[in-house]
Copies of this chain bind each other. A is one copy, B any other.
Amino acid sequence: MSSIGIVVPQSMQFAEPLALQSGAAIAGYSLVYETYGTLNAARSNAVLVLHALNASHHVAGVYSDTDKSAGWWDNMVGPGKPLDTDRFFVIGVNNLGSCFGSTGPMHVDPATGRPYGASFPVVTVEDWVQAQARLADALGIVQFAAVMGGSLGGMQAMAWSTLYPERLRHCVVIASTPRLSTQNIAFNDVARQAILTDPDYHGGDFYAHGVVPKNGLRVARMVGHITYLSNDDMAEKFGRALRSGAYQFGYGIDFEIESYLRYQGDKFSEYFDANTYLLITKALDYFDPARAFDGDLTRAMAGTQAQFLVVSFSTDWRFAPARSREIVQALVNNRRRVTYAEIDAPHGHDAFLLDDARYMDTVRAYYRRVWRDITDLPTASAAPRHEVAA
């Protein structure tokens, strides 16, 4: 197994306005994406990989020979990897509202000639899926072999299965949830309040002031990061270890965990856009496919046609296994074919990004099945077998 190597992001411009769930619309927009592997002649081997809060279209590979950081799911996607790019044509797409290339709050609003800022419309998981579907259209992909995502990416995969049931054969939902819990929303709101009340936020127009609400972003990331790690894993990694061996009796750094979290916060505040953070947490909060069905997820999933792989991790307290089991139950109630794996992993929510043999093997085995499924398909160019025999 090796990395896919050097990859190049592409961009596609969409001129037709996109009507959003909020009632607003985005006039014209571009989506940045990457592809790995080769689309087969039947266009049946495409897999769409969807990203979570702080990731992007850069799923796998590197940007240059000296690029030391590979894509966010480089352990999952590549030649010989669980999602094998020797077989599948994989697409990573950056979502609308992101700060990594696709049209977002940092971009100029053609209507005003100034950056959108906080006036960038609040987009939803379903809006993202609409935009992704247009990209699929443009790439000539009528049906995906699979749509796959972890965490917020898993929500998008779920939304694909209900909005475009016939456009995906398989749906892979990892470390996700059918809706945020009250506690999930509460943590998101703390993060938002940290950003919104940072004086450098300037009501979202901080670009014009030449500043960034770093303090707010930093606190937002710190609190978020705590929810990505398991209690036990944090204790195992950092414990109560002191940075200098003794209490400092001040408000600098005493504990290693403080050093780690502040570093994560600092780093994040240097590259992530505050408006994007706000917008994505809202997309998380709003996702709730059962909402239109009086909270009944079974009815919400009744229109799905895909087969599912659902994976959860034992120590994930952000989106706990019980939340994945709700998805599985709704699918079973609808007599859908669903494979469920609950991986006993110590790393909390972050486990979905990490190497774990049982996890990787589970996904690998599932994609072997996806592969058999699409290679058994009669293709447009191959004559049906019984006609050959005639």
> Residues on A close to B: CB < 8 A?
21-24, 118, 121-122, 179-183, 185-187, 189-190, 192-194, 196-199, 215, 218-219, 222-223, 226, 229, 231, 234-235, 237-240, 247, 249-251, 254-255, 257-258, 261-262, 265, 278, 282, 285-286, 288, 291
Contact of A251 among B118, B198, B238 (CB under 8 A): B118
Q: With a CB–CB cut-off of 8 A, which chain B residues contact A193? A: 218-219, 222, 262, 265
* Residue among A192, A199, A240 with max Cβ neighbours from chain B (10 Å): A240
Instruction: State the CA gap A186–B261 with chains docked (Å).
Output: 8
Q: Is the CB of A197 within 8 A of B182?
A: no
Q: Is the CB of A189 within 8 A of B257?
A: yes
* Interface SS of A by simple majority: helix
Contact of A226 among B22, B180, B186, B255 (CB under 8 A): B186
Q: Is the CB of A182 within 8 A of B235?
A: yes
Q: With a CB–CB cut-off of 8 A, which chain B residues contact A291? A: 240
Contact of A189 among B181, B185, B215, B258 (CB under 8 A): B258
Instruction: State the CA gap A282–B253 with chains docked (Å).
Output: 11
Q: Is the CB of A185 within 8 A of B255?
A: yes
Q: Is the CB of B190 within 8 A of A238?
A: no
List 8 A–B pairs whose Cβ atoms lie within 8 Å, in order of A's numbering. Answer: A21-B249, A121-B249, A182-B235, A189-B262, A190-B222, A192-B251, A193-B218, A223-B223
Known contacts: A189-B261, A231-B181, A255-B285. The answer to whether A194 contacts B194 by CB under 8 A is: yes
Other than the known A186-B234, A187-B223, A194-B194, what 7 A-B pairs have Cβ atoms closer than 8 Å?
A: A182-B239, A183-B229, A185-B257, A186-B257, A190-B219, A190-B226, A190-B261
Q: Is the CB of B247 within 8 A of A286?
A: yes
Q: Is the CB of B226 within 8 A of A197?
A: no
Copies, count: 2
Closest CB pairs A-B (n = 5)? A22-B249, A197-B215, A122-B249, A182-B234, A189-B258
Cβ-closest chain B residue relative to A226: B186
Contact of A190 among B182, B223, B286 (CB under 8 A): B223
Instruction: State the CA gap A185–B24 with chains docked (Å).
Output: 43
CB distance from A124 to the nearest CB of B (A): 8
Instruction: State the CA gap A21–B249 with chains docked (Å).
Output: 9
Q: With a CB–CB cut-off of 8 A, which chain B residues contact A196? A: 251
Q: With a CB–CB cut-off of 8 A, which chain B residues contact A247? A: 22, 286
CB distance from A228 to the nearest CB of B (A): 11
Q: With a CB–CB cut-off of 8 A, which chain B residues contact A251? A: 118, 192, 196, 278, 282
Q: With a CB–CB cut-off of 8 A, which chain B residues contact A239? A: 182
Instruction: State the CA gap A187–B180 with chains docked (Å).
Output: 21
Q: Is the CB of B215 within 8 A of A198?
A: yes
Cβ-closest chain B residue relative to A24: B249
CB distance from A204 to the nearest CB of B (A): 8
Q: Is the CB of A189 within 8 A of B235?
A: no
Q: With a CB–CB cut-off of 8 A, which chain B residues contact A250? A: 122
CB distance from A46 to the nearest CB of B (A): 32
Instruction: State the CA gap A237–B186 with chains docked (Å).
Output: 13
CB distance from A200 to the nearest CB of B (A): 9
Q: With a CB–CB cut-off of 8 A, which chain B residues contact A254? A: 282, 285-286
